[in-house]
Amino acid sequence: MLVAAEASGDDRGAGLMRALRARLGQGVRFVGVGGDRMAAEGLASPFDIADLSILGLVEGLLAYPRVVRRADETAALAVRERPDVVLLIDSWGFTLRVAQRLRRLMPGLPLIKYVGPQVWATRPGRAKTLAAAVDHLLSIHAFDAPYFEAEGLPVTFVGNSALSLDFSKANPARLRQAIGASPDDQILLVLPGSRPSEVDRMLPIFEDAANRLKSAYPELQVVVPAAPTVADMVRSRIAGWPHRAHVIEDEQGKLDAMKAATVALVCSGTVTIEVALAGAPMVIGYKLAPVTGFIVRRLIRTPFVTLFNIAANDFVAPELVQESCRPDWLAEEVARRLDDGELRARQTLAQYAALDLMGRGGPDPNEAAAEAVLKIVAARRT
């Protein structure tokens, strides 16, 4: 059983399913909760995970009854299907509630958390909470283990699947042809997030920034890849923009767009790693609801919000967050990069170096995660 409640978790879940099927063939059956990518691998989710793509304190409080209901439904699915093991992928609030229900209803069922909470950045007490709820953690960061092992939770480092994204078949020329761009046209990639709440908050800001840039650079091509969880929402909102923007929804088109991008304007999240892997310099924007932002600032223990900036301990890519996340400032940072090819090249190399610190070029995380899962199941059976 796999449980993923967000686009990045859906991607990790699909990769893990492929790796497990390669080892087990027809001897494996998948149940659980996921999105379009896991559905393509054969998982029938009982509900749309867009219901659970929630970010922010106020938003979380408002959605709490729905989260509880969905956690109850997920636990009931496990009771009905009797899986051999449960993988709870990312999505801290939701998967923790599922784990707590399964611990109570099926105490002998092995529970594995795939991606731990970022306790090195904020809320270190979550390590103890997780240790009480699950049996094992599959970590995507090499520096995670000491925090959780100190609470008695075994940890296996498997690496970050975003770091193994394959761009070998990406074709920037194909993207340019699809949108009618010439070889010399600059391309601005706009990535407003994969949660509805992120799109609600970030897309209007990014739209304003893109409008300013289009006024200054009339030939600039604007491309907006949309995650499956928010594709309809993004498409409907961009239809009202005063200038044309090209919405990309398919996976290959997204990879083509990342390789073709001159500069990217990105909502903080896993996608920053993907854009960095593609070699596109980026400007990162992020904004939480005021109450949530006020609380988070007093909890967070790092000056950075982007993983490769954290790894490098430097602002490799500029981060404009909260009050600094203004359309004029975002547009100014993007314009600097549109105008300065040397700056773009330096930033791309610095992003690559930060990714190397995170484990770029290491073993396939999907394969490592599958191997770890099978070892844990075998150990429990013996």
Do 330 and 376 share a domain, yes or no? Answer: no
Residues 201 and 141 in one domain: no
| pLDDT on residue 290 | 59
Sign of CA dihedral 10, 16, 22, 28: negative
Domain total for the chain?
2
Mean pLDDT, rounded, for 2-21:
94
* Cα 308 to Cα 315: distance, rounded to the nearest angstrom: 9
Assess if residue 107 is contained within a domain. Answer: yes
Are residues 213 and 150 both part of a single domain? no
The CA-atom distances, in angstroms, between 270 and each of 79, 88, 160, 180, 236 are 32, 18, 10, 29, 24
> Do 185 and 327 fall within a single domain?
yes
**What would the pLDDT profile of 204-239 be if each residue is shown by its tens digit?**
999 999 999 999 999 999 999 998 889 999 999 999
Query: Strand order of the sheet with strand 2-4?
Result: 32-33, 2-4, 86-89, 111-114, 136-139, 155-157
Residue 164, domain member (yes or no): no
SS (H, E, C) the chain: CEEECCHHHHHHHHHHHHHHHHHHHHHCCCCEECCHHHHHCCCCCCCCHHHHCCCCHHHHHHHHHHHHHHHHHHHHHHHHHCCCCEEEECCHHHHHHHHHHHHHHCCCCCEEEECCCCCCCCCCCHHHHHHHHCCEEEECCCCCHHHHHCCCCCEEECCCHHHHCCCCCCCHHHHHHHHCCCCCCCEEEEECCCCHHHHHHHHHHHHHHHHHHHHHCCCCEEEEECCHHHHHHHHHHHCCCCCCCEEECCHHHHHHHHHHCCEEEEECCCHHHHHHHHCCCEEEEECCCHHHHHHHHHHCCCCCCCHHHHHHCCCCCCEEEHHHCCHHHHHHHHHHHHHCHHHHHHHHHHHHHHHHHHCCCCCCHHHHHHHHHHHHHHHHHC
- Say yes or no: 308 and 369 in one domain: no
**Tens digit of each residue's pLDDT (9 = 90 or more) over 251-281:** 999 999 999 999 999 998 889 999 999 999 9
Residues 174 and 336: their CA atoms lie apart, in Å, by: 27
- What would the mean pLDDT of 276-296 be, rounded to a whole number? 79
Is 167 part of a structural domain of the chain? no
Same domain, yes or no, for 47 and 178?
Answer: no
- The verdict on 289 and 314 lying in the same domain is yes
Residue 165 domain flag: no
Please indicate, yes or no, if residue 32 is contained in any of the structural domains.
yes
Do 266 and 191 fall into the same domain? yes
pTM: 0.75
In terms of residue numbers, what domain contains 195?
172-358
Asked if pLDDT for residue 295 goes beyond 60, the answer is no
The pLDDT assigned to 297 comes to 56
Q: Is residue 324 part of a domain?
A: yes
CATH of the domain at 370: 3.40.50.2000
Are 196 and 312 part of one and the same domain?
yes
Q: Mind listing the pLDDT tens digit for each residue in 69-115?
A: 999 999 999 999 999 999 999 989 899 999 999 999 999 999 999 99
Judgement on whether residues 318 and 186 belong to the same structural domain of the protein = yes
Residue 200 lies in a domain: yes
Q: What was the pLDDT predicted at 205?
A: 96
Are residues 210 and 71 both part of a single domain? no
What pLDDT does residue 310 have?
A: 87
107 and 253 housed in the same domain? no
